[in-house]
C-alpha cells in the first residue's frame, strides 16, 4: 500500500539511484529523451527565456548545460546532494542542494525570468506547495515550463484518475533499485493545479516519439495569470 511516506520515498529513491541515473543520462541510454524530449524542452525554454533560468529538480544538470550553451544564465536545484555534486563538476552554472519543500518555505531568495521542471515533478504535496511558490519566484512577465509524462499516453493501464502509482525502472539499465511511487494527475488536474497556483497555461505541446508515433510527453508553458496580485510594487 502506498502511504503518506511516499514523498519521502521519492527523495530516498533518487538518493539511492543517483549513480545509475547519471550514467543513463550521460550515456544517452533513455531513448525517448534522445529521440524527442530533450530537444523539445530545450526549444520550449529557448522560445520564451530572456536571461535568468531556474532548473528545478535539475538532476545531474544536463538541461542547465544545454541552456548555458544558448547564452542563458542558469541556476539548478535538486534535493539530492550527489546529483548536485555531479552537476557542479560538469558545468559552470550555479547548482544548489535544495528541495521543493525548501523553496516553498522561501529559502531561495531570488527571482528568475523562467522556471523549468523537466520530468522532475513526482510527488503530490511537494509539487502543490512548489506551484504555490512559483509566482513569487518569477520576474514580471516570466514563464514557468513543465515537461512531464503525458497523462494519456504514459499512464499505463490503470484508471484515468489522480492518485499515487507504483514506480518502476522497467526499460532502464541494470543498477536501479527501489523505484519510488509517483503521483499521477489527469490532464485536467494539471490544468487545475496551474490555475489554483495563480498560473495561466498559455501553450501546451505534445512532442511525438518518431518511432512509436505516440506523444512522448506533455509540455505546459505558463505564466502568472491576471488574478495574481502578489507582487510588491516599488513606490
Ligand X SMILES: C[S@@+](CC[C@H](N)C(=O)[O-])C[C@H]1O[C@@H](n2cnc3c(N)ncnc32)[C@H](O)[C@@H]1O
Q: Does the protein bind ligand X through residue 215 (CB under 6 A)?
A: no
| Residues forming a β-bridge with 73 | 52
Q: Does the protein bind ligand X through residue 84 (CB under 6 A)?
A: no
Stretch that binds ligand X, among 57-65, 157-165, 197-205, 220-228 (CB under 6 A): 57-65
Choose between 10 and 219: whose C-beta lies nearer to ligand X: 10
- 83 with 18: CB under 8 angstroms? yes
**DSSP type of residue 5:** T
Kind and range of the H or E run holding 116? strand 112-118
Q: Does the protein bind ligand X through residue 13 (CB under 6 A)?
A: no
Choose between 42 and 48: whose C-beta lies nearer to ligand X: 42
DSSP states of 207-232: PBPTTT-SB--EEEEEEE-TT---PP
Q: Does the protein bind ligand X through residue 222 (CB under 6 A)?
A: no
Residue 44 has which C-alpha cell?
520550449
Stretch that binds ligand X, among 85-93, 119-127, 154-162, 188-196 (CB under 6 A): 119-127
Q: Does the protein bind ligand X through residue 78 (CB under 6 A)?
A: yes
Instruction: Count the alpha carbons within 13 Å of 143 in the hemisphere toward its beta carbon.
Output: 19
Q: Does the protein bind ligand X through residue 91 (CB under 6 A)?
A: no
Q: How many residues bind ligand X (CB under 6 A)?
A: 20
CB 114 to ligand X: min, Å: 14
Stretch that binds ligand X, among 53-61, 84-92, 198-206, 215-223 (CB under 6 A): 53-61
If you count them, how many residues does the chain have? 235
Q: Does the protein bind ligand X through residue 149 (CB under 6 A)?
A: no
**Dihedral pair phi/psi, residue 187, rounded to 5°:** -60, -45
Cβ-proximal residue to ligand X, closest one: 59
Candidates 6, 3, 37; CA nearest to 127 is: 6
CB 109 to ligand X: min, Å: 17
Stretch that binds ligand X, among 106-114, 121-129, 201-209, 213-221 (CB under 6 A): 121-129
CB neighbour burial string for 98-131, b if at least 16 within 10 angstroms, e if fewer: bbbbbbbeeebeeebbbbbbbbbbbbbebbbbbb
Residues that bind ligand X in the complex, under the rule CB under 6 A: 10, 14, 25, 57-59, 62-63, 78-80, 83, 99-100, 118-120, 122-123, 126
Amino acid at each position: 500500500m502506498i502511504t503518506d511516506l511516499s514523498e519521502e520515498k521519492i527523495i530516498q529513491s533518487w538518493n539511492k539511484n543517483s549513480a545509475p541515473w547519471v550514467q543513463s543520462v550521460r550515456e544517452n541510454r533513455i531513448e525517448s529523451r534522445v529521440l524527442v524530449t530533450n530537444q523539445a524542452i530545450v526549444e520550449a525554454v529557448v522560445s520564451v527565456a530572456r536571461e535568468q533560468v531556474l532548473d528545478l529538480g535539475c538532476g545531474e544538470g544536463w538541461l542547465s548545460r544545454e541552456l548555458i550553451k544558448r547564452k542563458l544564465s542558469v541556476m539548478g536545484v535538486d534535493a539530492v546532494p550527489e546529483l548536485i555534486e555531479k552537476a557542479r563538476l560538469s558545468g559552470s552554472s550555479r547548482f544548489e542542494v535544495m528541495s521543493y519543500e525548501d523553496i516553498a518555505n522561501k529559502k531561495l531568495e531570488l527571482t528568475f525570468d523562467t522556471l523549468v521542471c523537466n520530468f522532475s515533478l513526482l510527488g503530490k504535496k511537494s509539487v502543490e506547495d512548489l506551484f504555490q511558490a512559483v509566482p513569487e519566484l518569477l520576474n514580471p512577465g516570466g514563464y514557468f515550463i513543465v515537461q512531464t509524462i503525458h497523462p494519456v499516453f504514459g499512464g499505463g493501464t490503470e484508471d484515468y484518475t489522480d492518485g499515487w502509482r507504483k514506480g518502476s525502472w522497467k526499460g532502464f539499465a541494470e543498477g536501479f533499485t527501489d523505484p519510488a511511487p509517483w503521483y499521477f494527475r489527469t490532464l485536467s488536474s494539471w490544468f487545475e493545479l496551474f490555475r489554483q497556483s495563480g498560473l495561466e497555461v498559455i501553450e501546451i505541446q505534445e512532442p511525438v516519439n518518431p518511432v512509436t508515433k505516440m506523444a512522448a510527453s506533455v509540455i505546459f508553458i505558463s505564466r502568472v495569470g491576471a488574478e495574481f496580485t502578489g507582487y510588491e510594487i516599488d513606490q
